[in-house]
Amino acid sequence: MHMKRFLFLVMLTIRISVFAQNNASITISNNSNQIISKHIYGQFAEHLGRGIYDGFWVDEDMPVAKQDRIRLDIVKALKQINIPNLRWPGGCFADEYHWRDGIGPREQRPKMVNTNWGGVTEDNSFGTHEFLKLCELLGCEPYIAANVGSGTVEEMSKWIEYLNSNSTSTVAQMRKQNGHPEPYKVSFWGVGNESWGCGGNMTPEFYADQFRRYASFAKNYPGAPLKKIASGANAQDYNWTEVCMKNIPLNMMWGLSLHYYTIPTGNWSKKGSATKFSEQEYFSTMANCLKMEELVTKHSAIMDKYDPEKRVALVVDEWGVWTDPEPGTNPGFLYQQNSLRDALIAASTLNIFNNHCDRVKMAELAQTINVLQALILTDKDKMLLTPTYYIFDMYKVHQDAKYLNIKVTSPDYVVGGKRIPAVNASASQDSTGKIHISLVNLDMHNPVTIRIVLNGLKWSKINGQILTSANITDVNTFDQPSKIHSADFNSAKKDGDKLTVVIPAKSIITLELN
């Protein structure tokens, strides 16, 4: 009798344990006054590999729809996801770029060697006017990174004047002669890029002084107040943030940047394949991705010390997964495929940014086309949308929506004795009252039942979208461009004032509650 009772208790314990493992709970509250800035959903286009040339900017004889040499099927795809801003011309390239080389008649523009990326010839056919025409077609704001590393204060000052002044100065007249009578009114300006590394190998103290000097001569022109963004820390370099916040007057900078890349192996010299990886490597990739939460939290805490009113934005203007380049491609071009794993990275990272929208006001995925964690890949006249693209399409509902406080209790995803939370999420309410909840399940094998309580929020109808695939390594190819794409999800259930969702393994869901 005692043995039977013992076995019963063992089986009951196992059942409860299995039940607990596969259950998550989420509480969402309508007690925030924060807005999730649309600029968190920004993109990055550097003169690197096939990002600009053979990406946005194609040969005149390529058989695709174009305006000038801007590829319009790409423009259409990016407009679909409401791209809010585009950062240019770099990246490391920004600190060797001299803007005067990229204006005026194209046949007269000087050529240079792109020493950072592949040693290829840069013909400067895509310059300031071409970039701003692209932004106009996209309906997005330009974010220009100025040259502090090899440039001068005067060079940056004159570039701003060239773009934003409506005066009769020689520089403003030059813009008019080059075909744009009205000022462009560019607001977002990066004062250098990675000044701790490729942008000059500076100390934080030296850079803070340089920022103050450059920013002093970056003038506001009528209708174009500048939002100056200081070159911030690399990953966990908290001292860089401390020195910048301490030494730069808060009224001189709109934002301070942060760069962090997810390296699958954690080893920069052998990062890991974009398409061939084990479950152990998938797990380490996702654990490295989730470190963004710690980085944003700790950098924000330092900023809070000097800026308790949160006037200065944390701008994560380079993020994403960085793998080894695809075999057979120029290693300096940083071309990598984009799998379901990349989609889970994008969704988890955007959830982190949404949940820190009190400080994170802007971010840019690296990069838009054919480089690193791209939204779009091209092969001559062919084009495909990556799994990451579909995440930005599913998450665009959060742009400029009211942030809803969210608390997630998640089971662990365990591999090799190490554990990370299986579920992460974010939520918002748009101007029409619709509630959007984005859910991620990182567990490769197990679905998770999520019970959601919504406090102080009324709704009656549910629909949603899901992104998943049979294998974590699945990709879209030019032969199978739609292998992974978002699809309707109708399995969420209303249970009184609660919501129950069974989220499949390795999947992302965005729900809409009316």
Question: Can you tell me the distance from the alpha carbon of 395 to that of 437, in angstroms, rounded to the nearest whole number?
Answer: 9
At 292, the amino acid letter reads M
- In this structure, what token pair is assigned to residue 135? 């932004």
Q: What is the mean pLDDT of residues 483-504?
A: 95
Cα separations in angstroms, 177 against 124, 132, 139, 182, 190: 18, 16, 24, 11, 26
Question: Can you tell me the distance from the alpha carbon of 355 to that of 395, in angstroms, rounded to the nearest whole number?
Answer: 13
Helix, coil or strand: residue 235 = coil
pLDDT of amino acid 9 = 44
Question: Can you tell me the distance from the alpha carbon of 391 to that of 509, in angstroms, rounded to the nearest whole number?
Answer: 9
Which of the four pLDDT bands, split at 50, 70 and 90, describes residue 85?
very high
Which CATH class name applies to 36-400? Answer: alpha beta
Helix, coil or strand: residue 194 = coil
Chain segment 155-183, per-residue pLDDT in tens: 999 999 999 999 999 999 999 999 999 99
Which residue's structure tokens are 């910048």? 244
pLDDT higher than threshold 80 for residue 126: yes
pLDDT of amino acid 495 = 87
Question: Can you tell me the distance from the alpha carbon of 314 to that of 311, in angstroms, rounded to the nearest whole number?
Answer: 10
Question: Can you tell me the distance from the alpha carbon of 254 to that of 313, in angstroms, rounded to the nearest whole number?
Answer: 6
pLDDT higher than threshold 80 for residue 33: yes
Nearest to 293 by CA among 268, 316, 323, 318: 316
pLDDT of amino acid 412 = 97
Indicate if 36-400 has the same CATH topology as 22-31+404-513.
Answer: no
Nearest to 128 by CA among 119, 138, 136: 136
Q: Give the torsion through C-alpha atoms of 322, 324, 327, 332, to 10 deg.
A: 80
Which residue's structure tokens are 């199978």? 480
Catalytic residues: 194, 318
pLDDT higher than threshold 50 for residue 12: no
Q: What CATH superfamily is the domain 22-31+404-513?
A: Golgi alpha-mannosidase II (2.60.40.1180)
Secondary structure tally for the chain: helices H, strands E: 11, 28
- In this structure, what token pair is assigned to residue 495? 């249970």
Which pairing describes strands 141-146 and 121-122: parallel, antiparallel, or unpaired?
Answer: unpaired
pLDDT higher than threshold 60 for residue 8: no
Chain segment 230-277, per-residue pLDDT in tens: 999 999 999 999 999 999 999 999 999 999 999 999 999 999 999 999
pLDDT higher than threshold 90 for residue 118: no
Chain segment 390-437, per-residue pLDDT in tens: 999 999 999 999 999 999 999 999 999 999 999 999 999 999 999 999
Helix, coil or strand: residue 233 = strand
- Domain residue ranges in the chain: 22-31+404-513, 36-400
- In this structure, what token pair is assigned to residue 494? 């209303």
Task: Look over the chain and give the mean of its residue pLDDT values, rounded to a whole number.
Answer: 95
Question: Can you tell me the distance from the alpha carbon of 340 to that of 435, in angstroms, rounded to the nearest whole number?
Answer: 26
Nearest to 449 by CA among 486, 413, 499, 496: 499
Question: Can you tell me the distance from the alpha carbon of 196 to that of 186, in angstroms, rounded to the nearest whole number?
Answer: 26
pLDDT higher than threshold 70 for residue 2: no
Question: Can you tell me the distance from the alpha carbon of 337 to that of 324, in angstroms, rounded to the nearest whole number?
Answer: 10
The 3-state secondary structure of 450-514 reads EEEEEECCCCCCEEEEEECCCCCCCECCCCCCCCCCCEEECCCEEECCEEEEEECCCEEEEEEEC
